[in-house]
């Protein structure tokens, strides 16, 4: 895939405004399409973020061709990013990330693995998981070494979600901290410190938009406990829509309103910063107006 270099930026600032100036007279829509398609790289690391921070001297390149992995595989999975070490997909809601006792065959891992085998692209390795009803970014590794490096550094990965919730938190932003434990009924609850299986959980949140009945919340995870976001937002009196297990009464989107929006991490081989984004699904955007 051929690419061309742009003149390096001479001051700090976000990527999109700089690109609009550097690529003039290309239209704003055209520049956004380059970003959306993963055709812009900063210091050899592709990014889709409009607000990716630039520093003087950064190397910015634009691919002349759309990357082959962009789009949708033959098994209904959209690939957001792929290189020799990683595959990131946009998992749809309702699809398990990996196999369970109840479902061993139709999972995101199985579908993408089958696609990789069909084109002779080798094996796939699980890095992390998403709940069945959560959509968005799901990362796999293409080598055991990449998987091990990512998992060893997983606490340093920036994981940002978007949640459509009932009502509005009393505070526009804040931090929720508690111990969580899974019960025999598979539901996760707050528990006292020192309790059996108790795990410390920290969630940061910020209200992005308030609708008439529902709000859009940006959520950052400092820990990665099972159902952490769902339990913590419900504890604020704002359960995720469609999440009846944790108290939701409304289901305006016909699905749970939780989406894995952004992942940012050090590439396991190059060390460069990888920043990925999956846009909020339209059905969830409409729920908050």
Catalytic residue list: 131
Asked if 75 and 113 count as a contact pair (C-beta separation under 8 A), the reply is no
3-state secondary structure string across the chain? CCEEECCCCCCCEEHHHHHHHHCCCCCHHHHHHHHHCCCEEECCEEECCCCCEECCCCCEEEECCCCCCCEECCCCCEEEEECCCEEEEEECCCCECCCCCCCCCCEHHHHHHHHHHHCCCCCCEECCCCCCCCEEEEEEECCHHHHHHHHHCHHHCEEEEEEEEECCCCCCEEEEEEEEEECCCCCEEEECCCCCCCEEEEEEEEEEEECCCEEEEEEEECCCCCCHHHHHHHHCCCCECCCHHHCCCCCCCCCCCEEEEEEEEECCCCCCEEEEECCCCHHHHHHCC
């Amino acid at each position: 895939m051929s690419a061309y270099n742009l003149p390096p930026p001479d001051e700090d600032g976000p990527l999109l405004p700089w690109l609009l100036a550097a690529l003039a007279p290309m239209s704003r829509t055209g520049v956004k399409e380059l970003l959306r398609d993963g055709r812009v790289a900063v210091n050899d690391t592709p990014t889709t973020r409009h607000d990716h921070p630039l520093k003087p001297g950064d190397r910015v390149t634009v691919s002349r061709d759309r990357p082959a992995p962009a789009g949708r595989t033959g098994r209904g999975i959209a690939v957001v990013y792929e290189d020799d070490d990683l595959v990131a997909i946009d998992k749809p809601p309702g699809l398990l990330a990996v196999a369970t006792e109840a479902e061993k065959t139709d999972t995101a891992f199985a579908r993408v693995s089958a696609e990789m085998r069909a084109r002779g692209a080798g094996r796939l390795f699980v890095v992390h998981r998403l709940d069945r009803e959560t959509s968005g970014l799901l990362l796999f590794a293409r080598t055991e070494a990449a998987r091990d490096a990512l998992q060893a550094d997983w606490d340093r990965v920036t994981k940002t979600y978007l949640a459509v919730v009932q009502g509005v938190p009393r505070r526009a932003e804040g931090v929720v901290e508690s111990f969580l434990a899974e019960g025999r009924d598979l539901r996760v609850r707050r528990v006292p410190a020192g309790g059996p299986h108790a795990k410390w959980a920290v969630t940061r949140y910020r209200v992005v938009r308030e609708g008439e009945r529902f709000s859009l919340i940006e959520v950052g995870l400092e820990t990665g406990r099972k159902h952490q976001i769902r339990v913590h937002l419900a504890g604020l009196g704002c359960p995720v829509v469609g999440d009846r297990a944790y108290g939701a009464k409304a289901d305006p989107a016909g699905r749970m309103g939780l989406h894995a929006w952004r992942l940012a991490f050090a590439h396991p081989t190059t060390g460069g910063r990888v920043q990925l984004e999956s846009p909020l699904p339209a059905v969830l955007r409409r729920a908050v107006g």
